Amino acid sequence: MRTLVKGILLLFPISILFLTQKIACATDTLTTTQFIKDGETIISAGGSFALGFFSPSNSNNRYVGIWYQKISIPTVVWVANREVPLVNTSGVLEVIKPGLLVLRNGTNSIIWSTNSSTSVPNPVAQLLETGNLVVKDENQDNLEMFLWQSFDYPTDTFLPGMRLGQNFVTGLEVYLSSWKSYEDPAPGGYTYHCDPTGYPQNFIKKDSSLEFRTGPWNGLGFSGVPSLAKNPIFSYQVVIDNKERWTWDNQTGSWLIYLSAPTDNCDSYGLCGAYGTCNTGNSATCGCLDKFSPKNPEKWANGDRSGGCSRRIPLDCKSGDGFLKYSSLKLPDTRNSSYNTNISLEECRTVCLKNCSCTAYSILDISNGGSGCLLWFGDLIDIKVMSQGGEDIYIRMAYSESVSLQSSVGKKGKKLAISLTLSLAMVLFALGLILYLQRRKKKLAKQKKEELSGHNFSMAYTDEHNKKDLELPLLELSRIIKATNNFSFQNKLGEGGFGPVYKGLLEDGQEVAVKRLSEYSMQGLDEFKNEAICIAKLQHRNLVKLLGCCIEGREKILIYEYMPNKSLDFFIFDQTGRYSLDWPMRFHIIQGIARGLLYLHQDSRLRIIHRDLKASNILLDADMNPKISDFGTARSFGGNETGANTNRVVGTHGYMPPEYAVDGIFSVKSDVFSFGVIVLEIVSGKRNRGFLHHDHQFNLLGHAWKLYKEGRELELVDLHLGDSYNSLQVLRSIQVGLLCVQHGPDDRPDMSSAIFMLGNDGVLPEAKHPGFFMERNVVNEHSSSTQTSSSRGEITMTLLEAR
């Protein structure tokens, strides 16, 4: 199911039609003395919409529908008899007393009808300029007193002015449902709802299962879709009284894709389970919130993250709990929530603290400085780390896990803290020196045990020989704890397969990035050793610089130079960030990545194959210079070796070449393939994985190659660049990108050739078809089931560009 917002609309799916209407009535209204036959239409007063008979693609069945009249490719936005088609052109649409619109077939039988419990003396049907088909009394001017309106019974399209949600007075829920297929407009398996339970949020459902959630309304937009923040192009809002509805403003013009969702695996509902966080920027997509750990560590380590996470220390409401603040998140599912629009955030905390069932709270409305209170009850599900936007949430924790007594506990907690502190002081005073010696003995025994654990890795680096081999400064753990404010959540930059990354400030004022090996990391000691030893020997302006490491007990930490502009994906895939990257800057980044790879493959002490090159592993310094990072899965070779094979394929789908993903064969040409993907992503501003296009089901590589073969390469360019780019550089970059992603590794250039082709004006060889470009079902890539219908579980938001 595809949901399209077209100016602004939601469609499930796109309906390309063979339309046969040729006769148009001069009026927008049908009375009881008029009717329209197949081949005739009525047109709204301003000419924007038409109502008539049509046949979908590859179908002879006939339906009554509404479509945009002024757009060159007619797109049906509403269907009357979607479940009962006419089998020929004998259909007639008419209005009958006491106030019904009916569709008759060739035998004069009614096959579809509106419903109404009210009768009027002079019923008429009118097609409004909004695209709303209404039945009313001929003399009735009140737009809220219709006998019936199509806006209350939408099909797959969310038109401007339409409302989604539930009327709690009448019980009517207005929602969208997909077409069963391109040929059949009958309701498909996917539906789109403004959920009426808890605090408003929107869902895509497949049958009864949840597929995608927008996050709750925050006064400006939905917390999980920050790209839909209010802007000058369109507007929408949520109205909360006895009804919960989502409304949109109007646009007219031609189609332009604005936004698609789901965009990645993290948009799949509840992927990481309760208290799990989903982050597409990490090698391991699922992680646990800080102070939480996997419920089932064994399954978690094996890649099954659906069981979610749990608190390291259970709650104890009677003894007093506190709260931890988590930032930049898509807020959890709010179906089991409550809200209060009239209290402050501090009052919200007090309310939550007094209720042992309350698990979290946040600001309700972030507009105008923030106001109101949103409370969660039960487990927190479907949390996503947001690369842009995101909100703060305060999650209930055991007292000992609270950030501070002053900010995280209430008055009761403070009194309890003082009492506990005094009690502890009395006990320590009574036990004195004996207790101190016992604790010291246990501590020494624990340290010894830790030093012996972890394959003796920490001990392996205590002698001078191995320190010299590591060629890195060894920092004390105490310095790192101080630099990162004890690994506080506020200092957390993100999390990868290695573990969490924190921003730190050393005593001399130097900013650093601190990578801390997680206990539950999919990577382990081998990867830590590999990255520490490998990158310590690498020095290049386009590689991130490793400043030092820390190995104490079970702590394994790497300290890197800090990159203030984060990673490349924060710019090229971000609705706001992409405006910061003009074409000269993008080309500069492409060349910098290429030079860094050339150094790894050819000019470094050892030949290095990165094996996980992707946009999120390209960091940007203050001057937007690209630096390749994350060498945990890299492999080094000596002599004339250029590759190997493995039974353990590591990396990120969408960037891996076919021979590696399928057979485990990797080489320098594997990195060349990944580089080609990144080049095409930089040019287009689109991700290869999850790429959507209305004309086909190719990924970005297939789309680029299709345009290349048709001589339309410039259509790939990110629309945000406008016309301000060097077309020759762009064309050369696209062709070099396609040469790098060719299916056969022997066909791909090495990095020295790629750099030469990017910087010179010679004739380039013709690109062959890329790897992994065949048509596929994008949405169900993560599912093992096969989709036979053309309905697809995703939202595509398409903007109408005014002419």
In the chain, the amino acid numbered 34 is Q
> Is 612 known to be catalytic?
yes
Query: Phi and psi for 718 in degrees, rounded to 5?
Result: -55, 125
- SS3 of residue 254 by DSSP: strand
CA distances from 18 to 40, 88, 183, 487, 673 (A): 15, 15, 11, 61, 41
Question: 679 near 733, Cβ under 8 Å?
Answer: yes
Amino acid at 279: N
Tell me the three state secondary structure of residue 564: coil
Catalytic residue among 184, 321, 574, 612: 612
Check: CB of residue 5 under 8 Å from CB of residue 77.
no
Specify which residues 42 forms β-bridges with. Answer: 51
Number of helices (H), then strands (E), belonging to the chain: the values are 15, 46
CB burial of 687-723 (b: ≥16 within 10 Å; e: otherwise) equals bbbbbbbeeeebbbbbbbbbbbeeeebeebbbeebee
Question: Which residue type is seen at 372?
Answer: G
DSSP 490: G
DSSP H or E run through 4: strand 2-6
Structure tokens at 77: 């936005």
Report which residue type is found at 655.
Y
Using CA atoms, how far residue 80 sits from 22, 85, 100, 151, 466, in Å, is 20, 9, 13, 12, 76
Q: Report the distance separating Cα 214 and Cα 681, nearest Å.
A: 25
DSSP state of 545: P
358-365: strand order across its sheet: 286-288, 276-278, 383-385, 321-330, 391-398, 358-365, 371-377, 337-340
Between strands 23-24 and 40-43, the pairing is parallel
Give the CA distances from residue 731 to residues 5, 708, 768, in Å, rounded to whole numbers and listed in that order. Answer: 31, 9, 16
CA distance linking residue 174 with residue 167, whole number of Å: 8
Spatial separation of the C-alpha atoms in residues 666 and 644, rounded to whole Å: 6
CA–CA gap between residue 623 and residue 565 (Å, rounded): 9
Determine contact, residues 5/246, Cβ cutoff 8 Å.
no
What's the rounded Cα separation, in Å, for the pair 591 and 602?
16
Pairing of strands 2-6, 794-801: parallel
Rounded distance between C-alpha atoms, residue 280 and residue 569, angstroms: 10
What's the DSSP call for residue 291? T
How many Cβ atoms sit within 10 Å of the Cβ of residue 418? 11
In angstroms and rounded to an integer, the radius of gyration of the C-alpha atoms of the chain is: 30
CB contact at 8 A, 673 and 741: yes
- Taking the C-alpha atoms of residue 223 and residue 213, their distance in angstroms, rounded to an integer, is 10
Contact 51, 133 (CB under 8 A): yes
The residue among 402, 351, 346, 344 whose CA lies nearest residue 377 is 351
CA distance 281 to 569: 8
Q: Is 171 exposed, middle or buried (0-12, 13-18, 19+ CB in 10 A)?
A: exposed
N-to-C CA span, the chain = 29
How distant, in Å, are the alpha carbons of 235, 236, 288, 297, 364 from that of 231? Answer: 7, 10, 34, 44, 21
- Tokens at 720, concatenated: 């945000």
Known catalytic residues are 612
